Chain A
Amino acid sequence: RKEVEQDPGPFNVPEGATVAFNCTYSNSASQSFFWYRQDCRKEPKLLMSVYSSGNEDGRFTAQLNRASQYISLLIRDSKLSDSATYLCVVNFYTGTASKLTFGTGTRLQVTL
């Protein structure tokens, strides 16, 4: 079983739609969680951290369910510019180093 699992997609949605991605992780001792965005042939960039209470950044909402070891990302009012691959990332800090584990990503294609 992969440490971080995501549906690879692609998710094809029209502009203005709401879309949600899910991610599950296997290490129950994981301490922090993130969503990164990666455009085609570019480097990953931090989109947002994921907090236990849930958090929102504009059109983006992230949720964490520690009991189910599950993270989600909701994008409202999708824009063409949201088309990208979204990487779920789980962090385990050993005390001296962070061990980031990346999911393989979910591809989103927003269309007119």
Chain B
Amino acid sequence: ELKVEQNPLFLSMQEGKNYTIYCNYSTTSDRLYWYRQDPGKSLESLFVLLSNGAVKQEGRLMASLDTKARLSTLHITAAVHDLSATYFCAVGRADMRFGAGTRLTVKP
């Protein structure tokens, strides 16, 4: 069974700092997703990564995928308070599995 592990589960950062969230998965997959969830809200798609070495960037967030290592990273550059949310990675197609989520808090 496909398993998806994220770390850290909780992350408290100062504004302006950089940090990376990691997502490991247990079986081969040709696609990986990153989602954001604000408290009480639904999930918002951030990135779709389809190939080994894929890198996508949107604002202060950059996601990458290493299919050989079965690892994706979500890098946060110069964090701002608005980035506070829970971030999920997900792997698979119709049988998509989610990681436990990383609850990010950015403090002034």
Same complex origin of A and B: no
Interface residues of B (CB under 8 A from A): none
Interface residues of A (CB under 8 A from B): none
